[in-house]
Structures are given as C-alpha cells and as structure tokens.
C-alpha cells in the first residue's frame, strides 16, 4: 500500500472521529442544557422591582407593592 494512501486513510479516520465526537457532545449539551423560559419580564413602575410571570399574562401584579404593570418589550 502506498504511503500516500496510508496518510490519507489516517487523516480521514481522525477527522471522522473528531466529527463524531463533536456531534455527540452537541447532542448531549442540547439534551441536558437549560431550556429557554417562556415567562414574560415585568418591571414595576412604582418600586422598580424586576420580576417574571407566565407567558399568557398581559398585566401582572408586583409582589412587593401590589401595582399592576405591563410586560417589558425588548
């Protein structure tokens, strides 16, 4: 077997192994990583408290002072 074919086989097999390892680690990261929250972010106009509430709520009551607030739009 020529030396060129051996080197090519070695390099291709190493690249395939590295690609497989990268795909495997990315799949594990996605499976066990934190998911994005669906909650909405609110900031109280009276006391300045920043808090979250469910995604289906348009206005939320501040837990510190009790004022109703609109969600923050980014």
Number of structural domains, the chain? 2
The pLDDT-based confidence of 35 (bands split at 50, 70, 90) is confident
Same domain, residue pair 3 and 31: yes
Same domain, residue pair 31 and 44: no
Same domain, residue pair 31 and 12: yes
Same domain, residue pair 6 and 30: yes
Look at the pTM and tell me if it is higher than 0.85: no
Burial degree of 60 (CB within 10 A; 0-12, 13-18, 19+)? buried
Q: Determine how many CB atoms are found less than 10 A away from the CB of residue 25.
A: 10
Contacting residues for 45 by C-beta, under 8 A, at least 6 apart? 67, 69
- What are residue 60's DSSP bridge partners? 69
Structure tokens at 14: 């190493």
Same domain, residue pair 11 and 30: yes
pLDDT, position 5: 93
Q: Which structural domain, as residue segments, surrounds residue 60?
A: 40-70
């Amino acid at each position: 077997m020529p030396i060129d074919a051996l080197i090519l086989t070695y390099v291709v097999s190493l690249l395939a192994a590295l690609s497989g390892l990268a795909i495997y680690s990315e799949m594990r990261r996605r499976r066990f990583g934190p998911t994005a929250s669906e909650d909405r972010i609110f900031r109280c106009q009276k006391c300045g408290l920043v808090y979250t509430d469910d995604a289906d709520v348009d206005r939320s009551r501040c837990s510190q002072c009790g004022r109703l607030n609109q969600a923050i739009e980014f």
